[in-house]
Amino acid sequence: MIRRSWVEIDLQAIARNYAVYKSQLAPQLKVMAVVKADAYGHGDVEVANVLQTQGCGDFAVSNIEEAIKLREAGIKGQILILGYTPIDCVELLKQYDITQALLSEDYAQRLAGQNIKAQFAIDTGMNRIGLDSDDPKECERIIRQYQTQFKLTGLFTHLCVADTPAEEAFTSGQIENFKAVAESVQDLHLPFIHCMNSAGGLWQKPYGNLARLGIVLYGLKPDYDNQLPDGISPALQWKSVISLVKTLRIGETVGYGRTFTAKREMRIATIPTGYADGYNRLLSNRGFVLIHGKKAPLVGRVCMDQITVDVTEIPEAQFEDEVTLLGDGFNADDMGKMISTIGYEIICGISKRVSRVYKK
Ligand SMILES: *Cc1c(COP(=O)(O)O)cnc(C)c1O
């Protein structure tokens, strides 16, 4: 392992989050682990393998390359692609035994007759993909028409405000509309009916037989104001080191654009992690890192490969000391809040050049 910029991933924390969440979930809901985007930056093969060992047999990804990668790594259970796959990849879907979401009637028609595994997406308000549940009769007609052309294994919808208590009525409406469609084709005995994401599974009245869980498996929150069950903890820490410590005189500036000026004599440290590692440039003059457990505020702009922090109050800070960018009580949700985004984007954004180290 090269100590430049790296993340430490605790796979046991992911196994624990899975167990805790499962214990809180309605008993009729099995967990489908959402491992898209390289398991939100945690490593899709590693995460899927750990969850498979814990008894999880259903996985969801965003695209065919992610799906094939899991199959080739020996993931056995159901793999559902939640979004678009190019029509000319149909042979790959068959070859790797992957289940494809059907995004619209037109999309279903283009894939029809190949006997691939598929599930219809139902649009209950997200207005992104799926058959429009505002017309349940039409949904029923399409599902019945195409069920002979696919190995149709289910129906799913996606909730857009399940993390927001004030939007309770909208969410129940989504679930009701989905239920109406699902019940209209009950005689087809489709094995997977699912509408819950992390937030839905925790806070909504259960419906269906699967919950598609992403963010809680990684120990983060759907929304900053949410409260997670006890025992769920972030699985990822992001570390770097100090590459240089220097003293600034009063009036000297730091970095591109000279956006920071020393108002007193101060000590600063340079850290070899920058926006090309996924350290968001909006953290310039705003974020902080932890050194010896103490906060060191960013001074100046985040560069492509380096940041600079104030260590005046951390006199023991020196060359090659470890730096925590995420961890020690400051997680991706907290960092996201500082720059008006969500923890999801922070962890998905940690780039591939940051090495992943697994604690077993
Ligand atoms: C990403 C995604 C999920 C997982 O959402 P979390 O909030 O991370 O639990 C579930 N379903 C669909 C369709 C998704 O795209």
Say how far apart CA 87 and CA 99 lie, in whole Å. Answer: 14
Q: Residue 323: its pLDDT value, please?
A: 98
Tokens encoding 132: 């429009």
Residue of 80, 171, 212, 228 best suited for mutating to test ligand 1, as the one with most atoms within 8 Å of CB: 212
255 lines ligand 1 (CB under 6 A): no
Write the pLDDT tens digit of every residue in 277-324.
Answer: 999 999 999 999 999 999 999 999 999 999 999 999 999 999 999 999
User: Amino acid identity of 184?
Assistant: S
For range 142-163, the mean pLDDT: 97
**CA 17 vs CA 22, 117, 192, 315, 347: distances in Å:** 8, 30, 23, 38, 17
Say how far apart CA 20 and CA 60 lie, in whole Å. Answer: 20
Q: Kindly give the number of the ligand 1 atom that is closest to the alpha carbon of 212.
A: 10
The yes-or-no verdict on residue 360 having pLDDT over 80 is: no
Compute, in angstroms, the gap from residue 324 CA to the centroid of ligand 1: 28
346 lines ligand 1 (CB under 6 A): no
Write the pLDDT tens digit of every residue in 320-353.
Answer: 999 999 999 999 999 999 999 999 999 999 999 9
Q: Residue 22: its pLDDT value, please?
A: 93
Q: Residue 341: its pLDDT value, please?
A: 98
239 lines ligand 1 (CB under 6 A): no
197 lines ligand 1 (CB under 6 A): yes
Residue 358 · residue 46 · CB < 8 Å: yes
Which residues are the active-site residues?
A: 36, 256
Compute, in angstroms, the gap from residue 213 CA to the centroid of ligand 1: 6
Nearest to 238 by CA among 135, 143, 353: 353
Write the pLDDT tens digit of every residue in 196-223.
Answer: 999 998 889 999 999 999 999 999 999 9
Give the confidence band of 265 by pLDDT, cuts at 50, 70, 90.
very high
Query: Residue 357: which H helix or E strand, with range?
Result: strand 355-359
Residue 254 · residue 248 · CB < 8 Å: yes
Q: What is the mean pLDDT of the chain?
A: 97
